[in-house]
A = this chain, B = another copy of it.
Amino acid sequence: MSNNSKDTIYIGKKPLMTYVTSAIIQLATQPLVTIKARGLTTAIAIDVAQVVLKKTHPAFQIEDVRIGSEALVASDGRNRDVSTIDISIKRTAA
């Protein structure tokens, strides 16, 4: 999989539907889109994926879900591990 930013959506603090819309737009031209999040926004990433699937049913499906952790330097200078999630969505085979 290429690491092109066009096929990746990073979940931040915008409203849920912002990411849902971005994902659906990208899936119109890309074969696979990956939704990435870390920390508490991992829960939002799952919501985004579920809303995308529901709104476009049955056009797309979950390809893969990966979880992991990443070392971050917190504002107090200490290392903290945060959990990450990557959810890949692809077009359902016709």
Seen from chain A, the residues whose Cβ lies within 8 Å of a Cβ on chain B are 39-43, 46-47, 49-50, 54, 62, 65-69, 81, 83-85, 87
Contact = CB atoms under 8 A, between A and B. Distances in A.
Contacts of A84: 46
The CB with the most chain B CB atoms within 10 A, among A43, A47, A66, A84, is that of A43
Given A83-B43, A83-B50, A66 B65 contact: yes
28 contacts: A39-B43, A40-B40, A40-B43, A41-B43, A42-B42, A42-B43, A42-B46, A43-B43, A43-B83, A46-B67, A46-B83, A46-B84, A46-B85, A47-B83, A49-B67, A49-B83, A50-B67, A50-B68, A50-B69, A50-B81, A50-B83, A54-B69, A54-B81, A62-B67, A65-B65, A65-B66, A65-B67, A67-B87
Copy number of this protein in the oligomer?
A: 2
Nearest to A48: B83
